[in-house]
Structure 1
Amino acid sequence: MPQTTRGYPYPLGGVAPDVPYDMQQLAEAIDLDVTETTTALSALIGGKRVLAGSSVSTGTAAGDRNISWGAGVFATAPVVIACPGDTTSSPATVVVLQSTLGTTGVNVRVTNAAGAAITGACRVNWIAVGTPYSTTK
């Protein structure tokens, strides 16, 4: 059976299909690919959890916004990188400053290059990397 560049098998035309066998071969190839990718990623980040997201919100008078990923995700406060996406409030350079950080989220302050708060709708893209929360002792 031929395979894609990622090793996923597919049947050729003109060959009588064997759907259960073909599906099993595809499922096993995907499982192997995901396992190898996950193992490589875990080795690369040293067992850390990586979360990424994007949120659009308006800010307080100071430009503060809350990004929440909820409880039970990180055991300790992760490292967070946040950067602005699009903003309708100001075409000027937008600066995102992390103001408070915890295990369930982070507050960020969005300002322009001069330090003035951006209170209108603004997208903040973020990545959090930290120790996974575990229920085992």
Structure 2
Amino acid sequence: MNRFARSACGVAAAAALALGATACAEAVDTVDRAVNDTYEVTYEVTGSNVDSISYHDGGGKALEPSITTVDKPDLPWKKTVTLRGIMPSGVIPTAADLTGAKVTCRITHEGKVLAEETGEGLVTAGGCIGESPVGAE
């Protein structure tokens, strides 16, 4: 009886390990896909008296994206970039003239608006930050 019980326990343990390994492999595949997949977003800024626009340009690390700044942009301004994995999209217009600026920023992905904000005056405190759509599908 002991030999039978040990064999049964061994088979059960092996089956559990196989199932656990499969689940773990699926989790790793999901994380790898989330880190390596890319997606495109389009940043848009409209309004007046914007001195600069900073945006996540797709470089850097997922949670520390590199930022590009355009000084004295012509409005309306539009830029499409490719981001990776869980990297958030972000665009921040800045206006130094607090009295004359009215600004709207928008981030779209495949026609869907990920983020949109409108503000007057100095807009650096907000801007638009959008979550990555990778893994949300």
* TM-score w.r.t. length of structure 2: 0.27
Higher relative contact order (CA 8 A, sep 6+): 1
More helix by share: 2
- Between structure 1 and structure 2, the one with the greater Rg is 2
More strand by share: 2
* TM-score w.r.t. length of structure 1: 0.27
